[in-house]
Amino acid sequence: METVSTNTAFGGVQGVYRHASRETGTEMTFSVFVPPHAPGAKLPVVWYLSGLTCTHANVTEKGEFRRACAELGLIFVAPDTSPRGEGVADDPDGAWDFGLGAGFYVDATQAPYAAHYRMWSYVTQELPALIADQFPADMDRQSIMGHSMGGHGALTVGLTYPDRYRAVSAFAPIVAPGQVPWGEKALGGYLGEDRAAWRKHDAVALIEDGARIDALLVDQGAGDSFLEGQLRPQLLRTACDAAGIDLTLNLREGYDHSYYFISSFMDDHLRWHAARLG
């Protein structure tokens, strides 16, 4: 693991790191904030999955999470959103919603993407092992959150591994990618046309198929231009109500899809996570 940069913030260390990934076959960059702590202490870990076109840098620079993480004693990990580098396939038309920056947190099965787009295994297996080895992380106390495409990732990962993640939340998530244009393009391109294979990467479908978690927290901007066409949080509400999942769904008037929205409610989410992480 190579250290790209470190900076002191709120008494802790904000680092950016790079390593050679066995899953993606590329170099991958991620950021970690480690709050101030006693020598030898092990700290709970909050994972943050970013959205379309983003890297680790978006939340690291704009998320305004460090003050709360320092106060609450939380390690904050932000992976990249896709493999990158020479030879990594991109959208053939150069679109921003598929390919580089848009890995959708799945393990692709379709050529040419299957060679490198293994973001599911990267964020659920490979990177957690690296974090456990290199940082003072208590891997028995993990939680996960994300934004937009990353909100989709956080919900599907949390629903798939309910015993691993003690809290799951999202900002403006794509709750039912199998029913909206972003998701249909991504899941079809990465996983093929068999929609049955998409269901394990669709939060609403997972809940319909029996996945359960005690509680979910979702914040959504009422002024989000993607609300009705791509995000459709009401579908998650319907699924959670039918399954008996305690969903807190906050519709925030005046807020859009940007990091102005995310940073406004980041503190609420981190405190919600900390209460469940112990």
Q: Which residues are catalytic?
A: 148, 224, 257
7 DSSP 8-state letter: E
Cα 111 from Cα 106, distance rounded (Å):
14
Closest CA relative to residue 135, chosen from 14, 27, 21: 14
Phi then psi for residue 11, to 5 deg, are 85, -5
**Is residue 211 within 8 Å of 161, Cβ to Cβ?**
no
The pair of three-digit structure tokens given for residue 3, joined into one six-digit string: 């250290």
Cα 118 from Cα 109, distance rounded (Å):
9
**Is residue 199 within 8 Å of 176, Cβ to Cβ?**
no
Phi then psi for residue 47, to 5 deg, are -95, 140
**Is residue 123 within 8 Å of 47, Cβ to Cβ?**
yes
**Is residue 174 within 8 Å of 149, Cβ to Cβ?**
yes
The pair of three-digit structure tokens given for residue 187, joined into one six-digit string: 């899941």
**Is residue 46 within 8 Å of 166, Cβ to Cβ?**
no
The pair of three-digit structure tokens given for residue 27, joined into one six-digit string: 């170099």
Closest CA relative to residue 135, chosen from 64, 79, 77: 77
**Is residue 24 within 8 Å of 118, Cβ to Cβ?**
yes
